[in-house]
C-alpha cells in the first residue's frame, strides 16, 4: 500500500480508511477507489469491453476539462459517469468478513457483499451512488454549454456525496476497532501520524 501511495497509484483521500482496515489482523485490502468521475467512449456506460476511458479524476472536475474532451473525435457515445467508492478486501474468516460488512452497511455501503467464498472470502464494499450523463454521440454533441455547466455541477455534487460515504466508513470502522490490532500496521500508521 505504501508503494502504491508513493507512486501515485493510491487515492490519497482514503489512506486512513485503508489503514483502519489493515489494522485488523483478519483483513487485507486488495483494491480500492475513493470515488471518481470519468468520461468514457462507449455505447453504454456499464460496458467493460469496447469501452475507452478518455478522462478520469478522483476529485471535482471543471467545465473546461469536459469541453476539451468533447472536442476530440469519438468512436461511439461519450458519457460522463460518476461512481461512488468501492473496496475489495480479503478476509481471513467469514466472521471477519461479516464484521467488515456490518461496519460498511452502517456507513451507507448498502450494495456490499461477499463476492467469493474460497479459503479467504473476498468482500466488496460498494454504495449505490452513481450518475451517468450522455454528452455526445459519435457525430453530435447533445448538450449546450449551459446544460454542460449544470451537468458538471451535479457530477461534482454526486462525487462529494460519494466521498462523504468514505468518511462515514472510517468512523464506523473506528467505532468497531478490535482490541487486537496487527502490529506492523500499527507501527507504520503511528509513524505517519494516522493513529
Question: For the segment 113-156, what is each residue's pLDDT rounded down to a tens digit?
Answer: 999 988 899 999 999 999 999 999 999 999 999 999 999 999 99
Domain count, the chain: 1
Domain encompassing residue 46: 2-179
Q: Is 116 within the bounds of a domain? A: yes
* Average per-residue pLDDT for the chain: 90
C-alpha–C-alpha distance, residues 127 and 184, integer Å: 30
The answer to whether residue 120 sits within a structural domain is yes
| Residue 167 counted as domain residue | yes
The cell numbers describing 60, all together, are 471535482
Exposed (0-12), middle (13-18) or buried (19+): which is 161, by Cβ within 10 Å? Answer: middle
Nearest to 93 by CA among 187, 178, 186: 178
Tell me which residue of 75, 87, 76, 118 sits closest to 20, measured CA to CA: 87
Asked if residues 147 and 133 have their Cβ atoms less than 8 Å apart, the reply is no
pLDDT at 46: 87
CB 61 within 8 A of CB 113: no
pLDDT tens for each residue of 150-190: 999 999 999 999 999 999 999 999 999 887 776 777 777 77
CATH number of the domain to which 20 belongs: 3.30.1960.10
Amino acid at each position: 500500500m505504501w508503494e502504491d501511495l508513493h507512486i501515485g497509484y493510491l487515492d490519497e483521500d482514503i489512506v486512513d480508511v485503508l489503514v483502519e482496515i489493515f489494522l485488523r489482523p483478519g483483513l487485507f485490502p486488495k483494491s480500492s477507489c475513493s470515488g471518481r468521475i470519468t468520461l468514457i467512449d462507449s455505447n453504454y456506460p456499464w460496458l467493460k469491453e469496447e469501452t475507452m476511458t478518455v478522462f478520469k479524476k478522483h476529485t471535482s472536475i471543471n467545465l473546461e476539462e469536459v469541453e476539451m474532451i468533447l472536442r476530440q473525435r469519438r468512436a461511439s457515445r461519450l458519457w460522463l459517469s460518476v461512481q461512488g467508492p468501492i473496496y475489495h478486501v480479503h478476509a481471513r474468516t467469514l466472521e471477519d468478513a461479516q464484521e467488515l460488512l456490518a461496519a460498511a452497511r452502517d456507513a451507507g455501503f448498502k450494495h456490499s457483499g461477499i463476492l467469493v467464498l474460497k479459503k479467504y472470502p473476498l468482500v466488496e464494499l460498494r454504495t449505490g451512488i452513481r450518475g451517468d450523463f450522455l454528452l455526445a454521440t459519435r457525430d453530435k454533441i447533445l448538450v449546450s454549454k449551459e446544460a454542460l455547466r449544470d451537468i458538471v455541477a451535479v457530477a461534482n455534487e454526486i462525487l462529494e456525496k460519494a466521498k462523504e460515504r468514505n468518511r462515514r466508513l472510517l468512523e464506523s470502522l473506528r467505532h468497531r476497532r478490535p482490541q487486537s490490532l496487527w502490529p506492523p500496521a500499527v507501527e507504520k500508521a503511528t509513524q505517519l501520524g494516522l493513529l
